[in-house]
Amino acid sequence: MENKLKNGPGEKKVAEADCYSAFLEKLKRTSQAENRLFILKTCAKLGRPWVEKLLWKSLADPCESVRDFLIRELSGRKEVRRAQAVEMLSGPPWYARCAVLKIAGKRKMAEIIPYIACFVHDPNLEIKRSMAETLGKIGGSEGLRLLVKLRQDASPYVRAAAEKAITEVSGLRFT
């Protein structure tokens, strides 16, 4: 696919991948979080296919307010590509994976459960806590099975999140 951009007296054809790459590079060069947020909010309004990929990739932004916007934006979209979410789950940083988990929970993306099952053994407590919250929102027998494993975690924070999620999913109460 190509876009036609006005470039002086003539028109220049620009590939969708070039637009995505250009904005990703611009975001990397922009040091101020509020400026990155402005760029992402502006891009989110565009109806281009490359925008969703840009939003997913931008979950790796170190600024929490930028990630919060992206979580709201991707959670509220009519449709999102699961492949983009799965790709973001497989790499660093940890806070991008947590953001994907939040989106998956808000969207009730049950199809993502097989891709996050390995997080039960992740050394990062925040990822496991986010996983428990996500599974509590998604529910289902496979999610409940993983929550039972998380309930046995060494961290009291992970155990508490798993217990809360199990309560949401099954109605069981822990005393």
Q: What gap in Å lies between CA 36 and CA 31, rounded to an integer? A: 8
pLDDT for res 11:
45
pLDDT for res 92:
93
CB atoms within 10 A of CB 33: 14
**What are the DSSP calls for 104-150, one per residue?**
HHHHT-GGGHHHHGGGGG-S-HHHHHHHHHHHHHH-SHHHHHHHHHH
pLDDT for res 16:
81
pLDDT for res 172:
67
Residue whose pair of structure tokens reads 């109605």 in the numeric block: 171
State the pTM of this model: 0.88
Residue whose pair of structure tokens reads 């611009």 in the numeric block: 26
pLDDT for res 66:
98
pLDDT for res 2:
46
pLDDT in tens, the chain (175 residues): 444 444 444 444 568 888 999 999 999 999 999 999 999 999 999 989 899 999 999 999 999 999 999 999 999 999 999 999 999 999 999 999 999 999 999 999 999 999 999 999 999 999 999 999 999 999 999 999 999 999 999 999 999 999 999 998 887 666 6
Q: Which residues pair with 6 in a beta bridge?
A: 11
pLDDT for res 173:
67
Tokens of 86: 């799965």
